[in-house]
Structure 1
């Protein structure tokens, strides 16, 4: 076989991607990346009005984008999301599990209800949607890419003042879920990998940024800055494309080096 060029390896033309939590922040950035590489993109989140704005932005960039409003913390909504995506878009080649929740409270005061909310969306939701898409689209075709958005919070504890034990626990679970699923589904030619973002300005991290201070967080990174609107693009396309066909069960931190100095 003639080796493909680098442009051919990263080309996603003809592929279809589903990105949860895709209406803003990191999910929208990933949706842009996959669409810019040639993929058709379905984005999902809970709020239709946010999705409409995001799809207009994607379409304005020349991307074939559509949306489905769904709550990935609910089993029936996950099933509906998978079925509607497959009905409207055809087979899903790339699944990006990104929808997530965080909760800030000291461990001794953290409620069980809040714990369950975080774990249901950040872990159970990833599993159920991966299972639904794989069974209905990827396993039979022996082809697929699953990208799980974890976090450097899943690699270690937090600095004093960042009380997010449920979030940290959930993201640690996502990393081992990624490894275990990659090992089990490799026989179906399904690659499963994770991205571990560091501190990016987003709605989910606003509490952390306010509590810790953006300047302090940036100063703690060897590259001395927070993540921006393009820092996840390259890794997302690598994992999704033929360029990453021999990578599975792995995670990579995109954090400006924070995990290097904190022992992640």
Structure 2
């Protein structure tokens, strides 16, 4: 049920962090992988690692907020493989600040990458999925779509808004495209160490101590702990799972 042999997976934000881990997990499950991100040199490293596993990988430099780049990249991927079966919308940023201090520029930056970028990539992928009457779309949201940080140590109002919008867009897509045998679901990670968080949250011992004390499992997420859910939502194991937000946070959101 989790075998992805013969499938083609598109991964945004694939150059590092959770996106890189997911791309390698797809390859281990047998899929060919299209790697999309702005940093092409890092993408080539991921592609080479996947190719050593005996799987195909196509790295393409792309900015998710640029519609022309997105349209070109998805067309290139489709022409290369002939079909696209899985889309992991992983590209995202976290901008600190509350509504009293955020600049309009930074608010727009959050929405453009986290919401507009997801919309644009989905726009050009889902057309091919409709034609093929098959697709698995997995959107990376956040625990912060459901709960917010009360601590003044790290306030991210634009991140809260953008990741909540991802959940709304996920539900809309699920409702519209389910009839084409396309499932659309979202994952809400808690705190995981990644390139994005290690430069911010993981630098604050006070924040980490607070998080680990409050979390029922007394720790942050480990590398690879999202991959099981990603593979579930990308495979036939989730054939009747549609429009859902699955939170992976060690139980943080239940308390």
TM-score strictly above 0.5: yes
Per-residue CA shift, 1:36-60, capped at 9, x if unaligned?
1111011111011111122222233
- Picking from 149, 155, 162, the partner of 2:140 is 149
Partner residue, 1:139: 130
Structure 2 residue runs without a partner (length 5+): none
Question: Does the 8 Å contact 2:193/2:223 carry over to 1?
Answer: no
TM-score, scaled relative to structure 2: 0.95
Partner residue, 1:223: 217
TM-score, scaled relative to structure 1: 0.91
1:190 CA drift (Å): 0.6
Question: Does the 8 Å contact 1:191/1:249 carry over to 2?
Answer: yes
Partner residue, 1:159: 150
Is 1:68 aligned to residue 60 of structure 2?
Answer: yes
- Picking from 10, 27, 40, the partner of 1:48 is 40
Q: Moved runs in structure 1, 4+ residues, more than 4 A?
A: none
Partner residue, 1:252: 246
Distance in structure 1 (CA, Å) of the matches to 2:79 and 2:87 = 15
Question: How many residue pairs end up in the alignment?
Answer: 252
1:156 CA drift (Å): 1.7
Distance in structure 2 (CA, Å) of the matches to 1:28 and 1:255 = 20
Note the aligned Cα RMSD (angstroms).
Answer: 1.3
Question: Does the 8 Å contact 1:107/1:163 carry over to 2?
Answer: no
Question: Does the 8 Å contact 2:43/2:59 carry over to 1?
Answer: yes
1:209 CA drift (Å): 2.3
Partner residue, 1:236: 230
Structure 1 residue runs without a partner (length 5+): 1-8
Partner residue, 1:4: none
Partner residue, 2:176: 184
Distance in structure 1 (CA, Å) of the matches to 2:219 and 2:137 = 29
SS of aligned partner of 2:92: coil
SS of aligned partner of 2:154: coil
